[in-house]
Amino acid sequence: MSKKVLILSTSPRLNSNSEALADAFGRGAAEAGNQVEKISLRGKNIRFCLGCFVCQEKGRCVIPDDMGPIVEKMEQADVLVFATPIYYYEMSGQMKVLLDRANPLFVSDYKFRQVYFLASAAEAEEEVPLRAQSGLEGWVECFPKAKLCGSVFGGGVTGAGEIAGSPALEKARELGRCV
């Protein structure tokens, strides 16, 4: 059965390494017959959460920016995929703001059950993405029908596009095929 896969690329850089992982995951998911959409946060107007919790009452955020349609797509997706560069051993600020602003999902009848994490970093050590992944795991725990189903880390890449030829790209594609 075909699933709706929504990939959220949170890097501010054009041709980023984490976006290359997102694209590889998307290719794999499409090859497996799924409907894939990727949203890049680059260039989007997404403001910080106000912490007002109006979204808990109304089911939508009161801030008039680009986040509303993204939350609607997140709610309707079967699979969510988050791709981030690792900055200072943590997820990008853009990804953290995205997670905070997805608060209307908490009271919704969200469809996603599978969540995946893709990350790239200049450092290559295996533990580099763990704090960022832990942050996403905390978010996922707030959605009892969902679970983190897998992750891919592409380390040792700094400049845009340096991940080309990395085994992490094939791992991301294979993970996408398993959705």
Write the pLDDT tens digit of every residue in 40-53: 999 999 999 999 99
- Cα(177)–Cα(179) distance, integer angstroms: 6
Among the listed residues 29, 48, 11, 46, the one whose alpha carbon sits nearest the alpha carbon of residue 132: 11
Phi-psi region of 161 (alpha: psi -120 to 50; beta: other; left: phi over 0): left
- Cα(25)–Cα(50) distance, integer angstroms: 33
Cα distances (Å, whole numbers) of residue 50 to 43, 47, 66, 128: 21, 9, 15, 30
- Cα(92)–Cα(145) distance, integer angstroms: 25
Phi-psi region of 66 (alpha: psi -120 to 50; beta: other; left: phi over 0): alpha
Q: What would the pLDDT profile of 97-153 be if each residue is shown by its tens digit? A: 999 999 999 999 999 999 999 999 999 999 999 999 999 999 999 999 999 999 999
Mean residue pLDDT of the chain comes to 97
Q: What is the mean pLDDT of residues 18-28?
A: 98
90 three-class SS: strand
Q: Answer yes or no: is pLDDT of 175 > 90.
A: yes
Q: Answer yes or no: is pLDDT of 77 > 90.
A: yes
- The confidence score (pLDDT) of residue 87 equals 94
* Main-chain dihedrals φ then ψ at residue 40, nearest 5 degrees: -95, 135
- The confidence score (pLDDT) of residue 25 equals 99
Residue with tokens 């996603």: 112
In the chain the domains, ranked by start, together with CATH numbers, are: 4-177 (3.40.50.360)
Q: Whole-model pTM?
A: 0.97
- The confidence score (pLDDT) of residue 1 equals 87
Q: What is the mean pLDDT of residues 1-22?
A: 97
Residue with tokens 């340096």: 162
